Amino acid sequence: MAEKPANTFRCEGDAAGKVKTRYRRHAAGEDPAKRGQILKGAMQCFMENGFDATSMNEVCRAAGVSKGTLYVYFTDKVDLFEALVAEERDRMFEGIEALLKQDLPLREKLVLFGRLMVEVLCSDRVIRSQRIVAGIVERMPEVGARFYDVAARRNNASLAELLERESAAGRVDIPDIDLAASQFSELVCAGIWRARLFGKRETPPSAAEIETLVQSAVAMFLSAYEKHVG
């Protein structure tokens, strides 16, 4: 059966007064719903089987698309996996930039940012993605580099922008902004993220654990960099 054209956009009457529905057809490889359908199926395959054991045929079955359709959207398995990483990045960073630009004291911003960061990085889905990358990075280092760029690097860049603004306002004294951003990222995940990654800990941290860890990290960070008057 032919696939139904995407995105209804207008209805109009014919000569007999019947209503006809007209459709806007997406160009090949540009239908966001179809792309999302493929990515959803691919995520299921990669999470269940890992990178090496996942085939494009399996992705087609899981996504309910033909191989021809799959290759219109993604050139190969690496391209597909990197698209999943990019989508995960966008989900992770949704709202982070806005959060860091709110009119709140620095301490509150850091606490909010830290909570979100620990929740995301220690979630089952992200931990599985990180393990997949770790398993292929020796053979395909470029995949690991791109994974780092779209996740950790962007995370630190968002935080660095906040610290730059705080430094310009005279509220912190930070000689190396990028280093400080990396330090904060390590502090908020101390003792939990690696335990999750290597399977020592099977479940994500509770809200109470996250709060204790983040409050401690923020206090330590500000004790090193916050300017004190008087």
Pairwise CA distance, residues 173 & 168, whole Å: 9
Whether 174 contacts 167, CB under 8 Å: yes
Q: Residue 10 falls within a domain, yes or no? A: no
The pTM score is 0.74
One domain for residues 132 and 205: yes
Overall domain count for the chain: 2
Q: Are 204 and 196 in contact (CB under 8 A)?
A: yes
The answer to the question of residue 27 being in a domain is: no
CATH at 95: 1.10.357.10
Looking at the fold, whether 127 and 212 belong to one and the same domain comes out as yes
Same domain? For 46 and 95 the reply is: no
Average pLDDT of 67-91?
A: 86
Q: 131-162 pLDDT, tens per residue?
A: 988 888 898 888 888 777 766 777 788 899 99
Kindly state the tokens that stand for 157: 């860049």
Q: Is 23 among the domain residues?
A: no
Note whether residue 1 is domain-resident.
Answer: no
Residues 204, 139 share a domain: yes
Within a domain: 4? no
Pairing of strands 19-23, 8-13: antiparallel
Residue range 84-94: mean pLDDT, rounded: 74
230 located within any domain: no
Where residue 51 sits, what CATH number does that domain have?
1.10.10.60
Percentage of the chain with pLDDT > 70?
Answer: 84
User: Could you read off the pLDDT of 153-202 as tens digits, one per residue?
Assistant: 777 888 999 999 999 999 999 999 999 999 999 999 999 999 999 999 99
- Indicate the average pLDDT of the chain: 83
Q: Is residue 180 part of a domain?
A: yes
* Short-list 102, 118, 106, CA closest to 193: 118
- Do 69 and 88 lie in one domain? The reply is no
**Which domain, by its residues, includes 219?**
82-225
